[in-house]
Structure 1
Amino acid sequence: MEPLHDDAYAAAADWHNRLDEDDSAQTHAEFDAWLAADSRNKAAFEAVERTWSSLSAARVDARVLKLRREALSATHRLRFFRFAAAAAVVGVAVAIAYAVNPLFKADPTARPATIMGSATEGGAFRTAVGERSNITLSDGSSVVLNTNSRVEIRFTPEQRNVRLLSGQAWFQVAKNPNRPFVVEAGDRRVTALGTAFDVRLGAGDSVRVTLAEGKVSVEPILSPLQRLISAPPVPQLLLAGEALVVSEDAPVEKVKADLAKVQSWRQGQVVFDNDTLATAINEINRYSSTRIELADPALGQLRVSGVFKAGHSESFVETVTGHYPIQVASREDSRILLTAAQ
C-alpha cells in the first residue's frame, strides 16, 4: 500500500466529525463511496478512529470534564496535593478541549511570505514571526514556510536548488529524475527526485530532516579543503516515516518520526506528547512576539501533552496554569513570566 498522505487524514478527520453530527442515510452513502474510492481512505479513517477510541472513556470521565472546564475558564488553580491526580489526565483533557479545531484543518489566517525576488525559477522568500506561507515553484513543486523562516531558491536546467537559511520548511517535490531537487540546510544536503519532506534548522545549525513519503538521501556539505583531504561522504538514505537528526553535541541519529506531530504546524497547530514544559514553551514562543518564561527552571521538567493553536500564547498559559501548580507572576506586552503557585 502507498504511504498515507495528509490529504487522506484531513478527509478522514472531516468525515469523523461529519458522521458524529449527521447520521442520515445519505451521509452514510456518501461516506461509503469515499471509502471505496481509495484504499488509503479506509486506512486513514481507521487511524482516526483508533485515536478517538483511545479517548472515548475519558470523554465522559467526570474528572476530565472538570479539568476541561477549569482550563477554559482559568478560574481555578491546582495545588500540589492535587497535582499528581490531575497530571495523569491533563493530556487527555487538553486534547479534548482542542478537538473542536481538527488537527488537519488549514489555518485561514496564514499570510503570504514577503517576496524578495522572482517566484518563477528562483528568488528569496521569508516569513515573519507567526506567519506561514505557501510558495508554488515553476516545476510544480511547492514549499511551505513556517514561522520566522527564510529560503533562497535557484533553478537551473540541470538541478533545482533550495537553501534553507533559517526556520523550517515543508517540501512537496514534483518528480523529475533528470533534474534533482536539492535542499541545503546547515551543513547537510538533502537530495530528492519526487517526495515530501520537512527540514528544520535549530539552534547551533542543528538540522532535522523528516520524510513523509518517497526517499531522500542526506549527506554532509564539505568545504573545498575537506573535499581534498577527506573521502567522499556516504549519503544516508531516509525512508518514509524516518527522520535524521544532526547536532553539534551528539552523533548523527536516524529515528522513527511522529509525522502527525512534525506536520501539525502546516495546519496552524502545535502538538506535544509528553514533552517537557521547557520544550513546549520554546516551541510556543516560536510563533509569537510575546515570550513565555519560567522564573524557576525546575518547572520546565513538568510534562505536557495536547494540541494548541500556534500563536495563541495566552491560551497556552491559561491551560498550563489551570492544570499545574503554576501561576502568572507578571504580564507585559512582550513577556509572560510564570512561577510556582503559592
Structure 2
Amino acid sequence: MTPTVYSDAMRDEAVAWFVRLQECDDETVWLEHQDWLEANPAHAAAYSAVERLWIESDDLPQLEAAEPAAEVIDLSARRAARFGRYRYWLPAAAAAAMVGAVSLQFERGSGETYRTGADATRVVALADGSRIVLNRNTEVTVHLARNRRAAELASGEAAFDIRHEADRPFVVAAGGREIRVLGTEFDVLNDAGAFGVTVRRGLVAVSGTGGTAAARLPAGTALLRPPGARSDTVSRANPDDAFAWTHGQLVYADRPLDAVARDLARYGGGTVSVDPALRDTRVTGVIRIGDPATLDRQLEQLLPIRIEQHNGQRAIVPARH
C-alpha cells in the first residue's frame, strides 16, 4: 500500500491540533478535530505521524494514584528538539483531564447483551457501523440511543472499532472505569481484577480513580492496572500484540506469569494458580489459542514449568529436574 503523502502545511496543522488537544476539555473542539481528520486522508496521515513521533520520542512515565491532577512537566530537550518550534507544557504522566466522563445512565434491562463461552470468539456488527470482537468468556451489553452510544464490558476482553458520529460519542464502561472515544480502535480487558486498555488507532480518554485525572492514550500506548495494584501504568505498546487474540494467538512480551495464568483460566475455564516460587517469572513468546491441554503444553515448552491438575483446577509449578 502506498503511504498517504501530506504537505508541510498539513504537518504543521497536525502539530497544532496535537498541541491544542493536550489540555482541551471542550468536546466541541474534539469534534472539530475529528471533522478535520475526516476531511482529507492526508490530514489523518499527518496527525498519525505526529502521534507516532510523540510516542517514539521518549518513554511514557507511570500514572501514580497520588499524583495531583494539576501537576505539569516541561518537554524534555529531546522532545523539544524533535518538535522544533512547538514547545509546550503537558500534564504529568503524558495524560491530562479530557472531556468529562459521561455517566452511563440507561434503564435496567435496556440494551443488547452479547456473550461468548470458552470455545470461540464472536464478531458483533452494530447498527451505527461500529464493530466489536468479543474474546472468549466475555460479556458486553451495548446501548444505542438517539443521543448516546455506550457499551458495558461486564467481564472478559473485547476489541472495539468505533465509527465516528459527531453528535453521539461512544463510552465503554469496564472495571469501574469509563473509556470515552469519538472514533478509534482499541482493546479493553476487564478480567479477574485486571484492567487494561490498548489503543491501535486514534485517541481515547480513560477515567481516573480516587479523584485522579483521566488518562489520555494515543495510538500505540497501553494502560494497565494488574489485580491489587494501586496505580495505573502507561507505556508504549505494540497494538498488534494486544489484538493478536482476534487472530487466534496470544503474544507476550516480558509479561508476568500471573497474567498468563489469568489468560489460561479465561480460555480454559476454572482457575489456574501459580506456585509462589514462580511469582517473578516473566514470559516472552507466542501461544496458539486452543483447548486447555494445547495451551498448557505450549506454555510448558516456553518455560521450565509444568501444569498439574487437581480436582479440575490447574496449578503452574516448577518443572522437575
Same fold (TM over 0.5): yes
Measured at CA, do residues 311 and 152 of structure 1 come closer, stay the same or move farther in structure 2, by a change above 3 Å?
same
AA of the residue aligned to 2:283: V
Give 1:276 shift: 3.9
Deviations 1:20-63 (A, max 9, x none): xxxxxxxxxxxxxxxxxxxx9xxxxxxxxxxxxxxxxxxxxxxx
Once residues 332 and 318 of structure 1 are traced to their aligned partners in structure 2, the CA distance between those partners, rounded to angstroms, is: 19
Measured at CA, do residues 219 and 131 of structure 1 come closer, stay the same or move farther in structure 2, by a change above 3 Å?
same
Deviations 1:290-341 (A, max 9, x none): 65555x4314544432211223432343344456544565577664665531
Give 1:282 shift: 2.7
2:143 to 154, 158, 173: 154
1:219 and 2:199 equivalent? no
Once residues 257 and 216 of structure 2 are traced to their aligned partners in structure 1, the CA distance between those partners, rounded to angstroms, is: 33
Measured at CA, do residues 217 and 329 of structure 1 come closer, stay the same or move farther in structure 2, by a change above 3 Å?
closer
Q: Could you tell me which residue of structure 1 aligns to residue 259 of structure 2?
A: 279
2:215 to 228, 232, 236: 236
1:253 and 2:221 equivalent? no
1:307 and 2:286 equivalent? yes
Measured at CA, do residues 252 and 313 of structure 1 come closer, stay the same or move farther in structure 2, by a change above 3 Å?
same
Measured at CA, do residues 137 and 337 of structure 1 come closer, stay the same or move farther in structure 2, by a change above 3 Å?
same
1:200 and 2:180 equivalent? no
Deviations 1:149-174 (A, max 9, x none): 11111111111111111111111011
RMSD (Å) for aligned C-alpha atoms: 3.2
Once residues 221 and 179 of structure 1 are traced to their aligned partners in structure 2, the CA distance between those partners, rounded to angstroms, is: 25
Once residues 278 and 293 of structure 1 are traced to their aligned partners in structure 2, the CA distance between those partners, rounded to angstroms, is: 8
The count of residues paired between Structure 1 and Structure 2 equals 216
Q: Could you tell me which residue of structure 2 aligns to residue 317 of structure 1?
A: 296
Of stretches 314-323 and 140-149 in structure 1, the one that deviates more from structure 2 is: 314-323
Q: Secondary structure of the residue that 2:240 maps to in structure 1? A: helix
Give 1:256 shift: 1.2
When normalised by structure 1's length, the TM-score is 0.54
Higher relative contact order, chain-length normalized (CA < 8 Å, sep 6+): 1
Give 1:202 shift: 3.2
Q: Could you tell me which residue of structure 2 aligns to residue 52 of structure 1?
A: none
Measured at CA, do residues 150 and 317 of structure 1 come closer, stay the same or move farther in structure 2, by a change above 3 Å?
closer
Aligned residues of 1:147 and 1:287 also touching (Cα < 8 A): yes
Give 1:213 shift: 0.4
1:210 and 2:173 equivalent? no
- Give identity over the alignment, percent: 30
Aligned residues of 2:305 and 2:316 also touching (Cα < 8 A): no
Higher helix share: 1
Larger of the two Rg values belongs to structure: 1
